[in-house]
Structure formats: C-alpha cells, structure tokens
Amino acid sequence: MEAEAAKFLGAALAIALGVVGPGVGIGILGAGAMGAIGRNPEAAGAITTNMILAIAFAEALGIYSLIVAVILLFVV
C-alpha cells in the first residue's frame, strides 16, 4: 500500500514541479514580447515568430514532465 501511495505522490510531484517552470517562462516570454511590440510595432511579425518558437521549446519541457508522470503511474 505504501508503494502505491509513493507512486502517486511521485507522479504528482513530477507534473507539479515540471510545469511550474515552463508556465512562468511562458508568462515572461509573453510579457516581454508584448512590451517589445509596444515599443516597436513595425517588428511585430518577427517578435511574434520568435515568441511562438520560444514558447514551443518551453512547453516541450512541460510535456516531458507529463511523460515522466505517466511513466511513474503506469510502469513503475
């Protein structure tokens, strides 16, 4: 019984801690991009493209933590 509880706790911690960083990073990226577009509206296209690319990389880290959590739940 304790092993089952530890498995659930480990999966919960993996997803919780693994998503906090990308969430904060995406917020900072969005705020920085909006500030940059406000200062230089002509560069909005290039800024938006780079912002979306950086958000995709940050979101990949959250997906990795989701995969680790699922592995902990169903494999271990």
Print pLDDT tens along the chain (76 aa).
788 899 999 999 999 999 999 999 999 999 999 999 999 999 999 999 999 999 999 999 999 999 999 999 998 7
**In the CATH scheme, what is the code of domain 1-75?**
1.20.20.10
Please state the pTM of the whole predicted model: 0.80
The residues spanned by each domain of the chain are 1-75
Gap between the Cα atoms of 76 and 69, Å rounded: 10
